[in-house]
A and B are shown apart, each in its own frame.
Chain A
């Protein structure tokens, strides 16, 4: 069985694995991330769970999923650097675990087809009740994000750091634009997406050759270029570090720091940087955790993360407002130590083992298997997991020190509590 099949308008990636008790189908549709379309795309992703022509309400759609032994069907959004990606996911148990013999797989594929090609719509409009309901749901979701102080402060960092650049565009869209979107405009946009987006479909489960036939029969798209810009290195236009502080009536302050790193997913330094981030703040054995939490008891969480598709690094911690200066100084100090070459081989070795181990473990989760493949597929990176591990293991102490010197603090966003 071929693993990747190119059809008109989409690539079908088959990943036959028999250790899972379900079948997962994930569709990713990618388009350029722009200020003009991000809200539209978010709203569209909500519509994909609003029912189909045959199941024309959320209640009937949900009831059908229950009938399929609690099959899950969801949509979500994310970015891959310069691309905005809508993801539609469907998980249904493998019928070999049922007492009754039922062809769940065919039903799962047909439902997927209907969601994408026969939504709850007619005459160029989505069902009005569902459309309005989903608009409300979307607004509520944005408000809930604001109430989650962790994600709110992270969003604010991106906004400030990436002002006038793709990084500053909200993945989730803008609340004040929702009311202005008409039903017709959204439906038009939906048709455009079907025509222009880059589609990749991944299937993980105990599947055989028949799957391919069954799927392609149900899934027809028009030809288009399967190319889209994704991974990028963020370049700052600031001469000094931008510090933004905001006050809210909260108990714990949220500190977020954004760094430029001159490295991204497709750079040769990607591997060295993955290790740098791991030993700096990616794990519980990392410098930041040891120093800021364990030695100084300043926080419960502190970590760094490497956003490989935006080419930046973030550090975040929950602290007391009064400890801001001390914490920032400690974090910067740990970075400078590595830049000066104060770094042990042991720490590097532990980080290598940890990264290798987590990569192996990711093989036990269908979602992770797909996420890893997608990153490579959309950047045309030909790499197996073993090659990735080998490349990580080839990184030297000197490499890590060299990439650490490219790390530069760009923006701090601090959400303060009231004293």
Chain B
């Protein structure tokens, strides 16, 4: 077991790689009552084209299958995993993102049993045709719930417009059609390919004794048989550099119009550290441009273009990345023009050293704050882990970022990689 101490945040992290390839990280939080366990696999909504384990041909499976599998993982041969967690007094849940699926528990009691149950239910699959059919109605309602959420539609609509082919353009849950077309066999194929220990990572944080817990996990893993680790072959997506659609307008039964501008960022660093520096620098730039302290924000607010729902973010995942800027607005067209003008002339936008230092301080504070929450620590770690980034090092990397790093980010706001997504109320005010 390896022990890593992080001085700035005063935390000690323990790590060990199991014989079967599973990486385990433990972070004791003294004084905490709760323990949070997160078991993640590098298998997300975008992994729909791959070579299944033991085969040689690339296949294309149904959209939304990672999420479907997440729902069905809780079925065990002798009952339901959530019921078993309830018996222990623990709560459990799971989530699927574009590049990973994660299962979790949180409990203040009987932690050893919770950790074993988490490992056991995720490391076994029990599917029946009947239970898979039954789940389709539930997932259908989950999709419908998002269909009525204008913020989600705007957020996701802008992503869908950015990409021609990349599977990130399809909703994480898929569509009602792809969910209905999903079969037991397809789910099994995905499970066998992506739930191998060498493609997974366990992170446990909270009220725990590292030596004892690592031994428990070692013994649990030693009892199980897995095929030898094999490299997973995923399809390489040939995505053009241009955007799929320049603009889309969607009408919904809402009061407030919304606008989201998406900017496709084509060049993605290969190395984990470079990727992180880019992400942090871009976030500092977006903060300087659009946080409430900025003159740009103040001007947009005073001219009635935006309200405090306005925000900007940078998403950088395995093989795609983009910037999103937008929010509620009564003047979507004017906001679009304002932002377009701002981005087209971004190289004239200068940043002074004091502003840069101030926003950097903010980033450091936010990072330190996140170490109060076991959930945030584990989720952040898992999000970066599969991209080759070690989240405990973020604070040192933020400190090393220079104004120059941030200024360079202005070059990514290229003219023809923008898309605009607008949501308008169905009714004109006269019908109200």
By a beta-carbon cutoff of 8 Å, the part of chain A in contact with chain B is 17-22, 57-63, 65-71, 91-93, 97, 99, 129, 133, 136-137, 140-141, 143-144, 146-149, 248-252, 283-285, 293, 297-301, 318-320, 350, 353-354, 356-358, 360-361, 363-366
Cβ–Cβ contact A319 & B141, under 8 A: yes
When distances are taken between beta carbons in the complex, the residues of chain A under 8 Å from B255 are 143, 146-147
> Distance in Å from the Cβ of A151 to the closest Cβ of chain B?
11
A-B contact pairs, 12 of them (CB 8 A): A18-B31, A19-B32, A59-B295, A70-B369, A141-B307, A146-B254, A249-B252, A300-B139, A320-B141, A350-B87, A354-B91, A364-B374
Cβ–Cβ contact A59 & B298, under 8 A: yes
Interface centre among A62, A71, A141, by most B CB within 10 Å? A62
> Distance in Å from the Cβ of A404 to the closest Cβ of chain B?
20
By a beta-carbon cutoff of 8 Å, the part of chain B in contact with chain A is 8-10, 29-34, 82-83, 86-92, 106-109, 134-139, 141-142, 144-145, 147-150, 206, 252-256, 291-295, 297-298, 301-302, 304, 307-309, 328, 358-359, 361-366, 368-369, 371-374, 426
Cβ–Cβ contact A69 & B138, under 8 A: no
> B33: which of A71, A137, A299, A360 is its contact (CB, 8 Å)?
A360
Cβ–Cβ contact B298 & A19, under 8 A: no
Expressed in whole angstroms, the Cα–Cα distance for A318 and B147 within the complex equals 12
Interface centre among B91, B148, B374, by most A CB within 10 Å? B148
> A140: which of B30, B137, B307, B365 is its contact (CB, 8 Å)?
B307
Kindly report which residue of chain A lies nearest to residue B255, judged by CB atoms: A143
Cβ–Cβ contact B365 & A93, under 8 A: yes
Cβ–Cβ contact B366 & A252, under 8 A: no
> B301: which of A69, A133, A298, A319 is its contact (CB, 8 Å)?
A133
> Distance in Å from the Cβ of B431 to the closest Cβ of chain A?
12
Cβ–Cβ contact B253 & A361, under 8 A: no
> Distance in Å from the Cβ of A305 to the closest Cβ of chain B?
16
Beyond A58-B301, A249-B253, A357-B90, list 12 extra A-B contacts (CB 8 Å): A65-B362, A69-B361, A70-B362, A70-B364, A93-B365, A97-B8, A285-B82, A318-B141, A350-B86, A353-B86, A354-B91, A361-B106
> B138: which of A63, A300, A354 is its contact (CB, 8 Å)?
A300
Top 8 closest pairs, chain A to chain B, by CB: A69-B365, A297-B137, A19-B31, A70-B365, A70-B362, A360-B108, A353-B89, A63-B293
Cβ–Cβ contact A293 & B87, under 8 A: no
Cβ–Cβ contact B372 & A354, under 8 A: no
Kindly report which residue of chain A lies nearest to residue B141, judged by CB atoms: A300
Interface centre among A297, A360, A361, A363, by most B CB within 10 Å? A361
> Distance in Å from the Cβ of B128 to the closest Cβ of chain A?
14
Expressed in whole angstroms, the Cα–Cα distance for A57 and B144 within the complex equals 42
* A70-B138 contact in complex given A350-B86, A360-B34, C-beta closer than 8 Å: no
> A284: which of B82, B302, B362 is its contact (CB, 8 Å)?
B82
Expressed in whole angstroms, the Cα–Cα distance for A18 and B87 within the complex equals 32
Cβ–Cβ contact B89 & A297, under 8 A: no
Expressed in whole angstroms, the Cα–Cα distance for A363 and B31 within the complex equals 10
* A71-B138 contact in complex given A144-B256, A283-B86, C-beta closer than 8 Å: no
> A357: which of B108, B147, B302 is its contact (CB, 8 Å)?
B108
Expressed in whole angstroms, the Cα–Cα distance for A68 and B374 within the complex equals 24
Interface centre among B106, B147, B368, by most A CB within 10 Å? B368
Expressed in whole angstroms, the Cα–Cα distance for A318 and B145 within the complex equals 7
Kindly report which residue of chain B lies nearest to residue A96, judged by CB atoms: B10
Cβ–Cβ contact A299 & B141, under 8 A: yes
Expressed in whole angstroms, the Cα–Cα distance for A353 and B91 within the complex equals 11
When distances are taken between beta carbons in the complex, the residues of chain B under 8 Å from A350 are 86-87, 89
* A66-B358 contact in complex given A354-B89, A364-B33, C-beta closer than 8 Å: yes
> B86: which of A147, A284, A356 is its contact (CB, 8 Å)?
A284
> B32: which of A59, A91, A147, A364 is its contact (CB, 8 Å)?
A364
